[in-house]
Amino acid sequence: MRSQDNAVTDVDAHHVYGPSSLDALSGCVRFKYNDSDADAATEGTELHKAFETGDLSGLDDEQRQCVTAIRNFVESLKYSGGSTPEEWEDLPEAKLRLDALTYGTADRVLINRTRKRACVIDAKFTHRETAHDFQLRAYGACVAEMWPEVETVETHVAAPRLNDIVSKSYDARLLLRGTRAEIEALYARIEDPATPPEQHEDLCCKCANAVSCPALGATVTVVARGLGLPMPDRFAVDAITTPRDRACAQVLAGALANWSEQVKKLNAAYVEESGDEIPGFKLTRRSTGLRVPKDRTADALSAAKEAFGLPEHTLLGCCSMTVGDVVKAAAEAQGVPEAVAKEHVREALADIAVEGSCAFLTKTKRLSDAALLKQVAAE
């Protein structure tokens, strides 16, 4: 565990500008991550936990291979440069700080006081390459400040799904001075209200500020006019204020969403069927986890009960029930139309079932987009 003299006991969360955000912010100071891929985030948390603890239970074969590969790499570092494992202080989920500038949690830090050497290991379980150089330099600078006896800091980014390990070595004092100055310069740009956002090929597609971004809006406006849509001069939230502009933006959003989804599907199908490559991309498959087919639920309950001795009420708590399925079963059992069965089911489950809802826009009239825009322009 962490030595008491270097403990960071008052840091329980990532700094608003933590090391993991620095690469993105250096690309665009107005970037804000849009955490829309909940499944990927959940998997990432699970794999990082397995990397930290070594507990691989609950992982599929591919995930086990990924975690094991990184753990083996970490162990190999303990023999590098003629060292032995006993010389290293191994710090999983190491909380690090650099002055009051930044702090965060590194996946793994190894400290060798005898050889005045440190290793920072960052595990990347992504299927695509991401920028990480600034993040790792920041972690390395934190280590250089917190362990002043260290003379050499190594950073290692291990990405098993990309079959890639990127390793760099730094003079600890030079890294500390250079990275501190780099972070201070970035913060000055962030805090200057005159610093504009910038289009970035890797950031715009996952930025929560996309709809209000004037840089991205300039491109969207060009696309809109190419489609013949009468868009405002500035495509940003403060520019989309009138009902007319909102209607135009709604039509454009539908056109772009439809186009982008079709492009993704067509390209994936092309690579899968032809075996050809699209430069910069590869076909990736990700496990969606085990599931029990609906028509095998009873078999699964019986098997789980026999294997684990679980009571029926516990097993039923693991199941989900849709009202639609109950309606179909009730209609078949009672020999009545589903519309009639639906009312019976509603009455029977009135005090149990909860009805959800979601809000979205639909056209009030059966108009084409062109006709709708013509009508809006005339108002």
Domain ranges of the chain: 4-191, 209-274
Q: What's the whole-model pTM score?
A: 0.65
Q: What pLDDT shows up at residue 287?
A: 67
**Which tokens sit at 356?**
């959800």
3-class DSSP assignment, residue 140: helix
Whole-number Å distance between alpha carbons of 32 and 23: 12
Q: What pLDDT shows up at residue 288?
A: 66
Q: What pLDDT shows up at residue 5?
A: 44
Whole-number Å distance between alpha carbons of 266 and 254: 18
How confident is the prediction along the chain (379 residues), in pLDDT tens digits per residue? 334 344 444 444 455 689 999 999 999 999 988 765 555 678 888 999 999 999 998 888 899 999 999 999 999 999 999 999 999 999 999 999 998 889 999 999 999 999 999 999 999 998 777 778 999 999 999 999 999 999 999 999 999 988 889 999 999 999 999 999 999 999 999 999 999 888 877 787 788 887 777 777 777 767 766 766 666 555 555 566 777 777 777 777 777 777 778 888 888 889 989 989 888 788 887 666 777 887 888 888 888 888 888 888 888 888 877 888 888 888 888 888 888 888 888 888 888 888 777 777 777 766 666 677 677 666 6
**Where do the H-state alpha helices sit in the chain?**
19-27, 38-53, 61-77, 133-146, 172-191, 214-226, 243-274, 297-308, 312-316, 323-334, 338-348, 369-378
Whole-number Å distance between alpha carbons of 290 and 297: 13
Q: What pLDDT shows up at residue 171?
A: 97
- Cβ partners under 8 Å of residue 25, min gap 6: 17, 31, 186, 190
Q: What pLDDT shows up at residue 2?
A: 35
Of the candidates 342, 361, 366, the one whose C-alpha atom is nearest the C-alpha of residue 353 is 342
Phi-psi domain of 90 (left: phi exceeds 0; alpha: psi -120 through 50; beta: other) = beta
- What order of strands is seen across the sheet that includes strand 89-98? 89-98, 102-112, 117-123, 152-159, 164-171
Q: What pLDDT shows up at residue 297?
A: 84
Which string of DSSP letters, residue by residue, matches 288-336? ------GGGHHHHHHHHHHHH---HHHHHTT----HHHHHHHHHHHHT-
Domain 4-191 CATH class label: alpha beta
List, in sequence order, every residue forming a beta bridge with 78; answer none if it has no partner: none
Whole-number Å distance between alpha carbons of 72 and 121: 12
Q: What pLDDT shows up at residue 188?
A: 93
Whole-number Å distance between alpha carbons of 215 and 342: 51
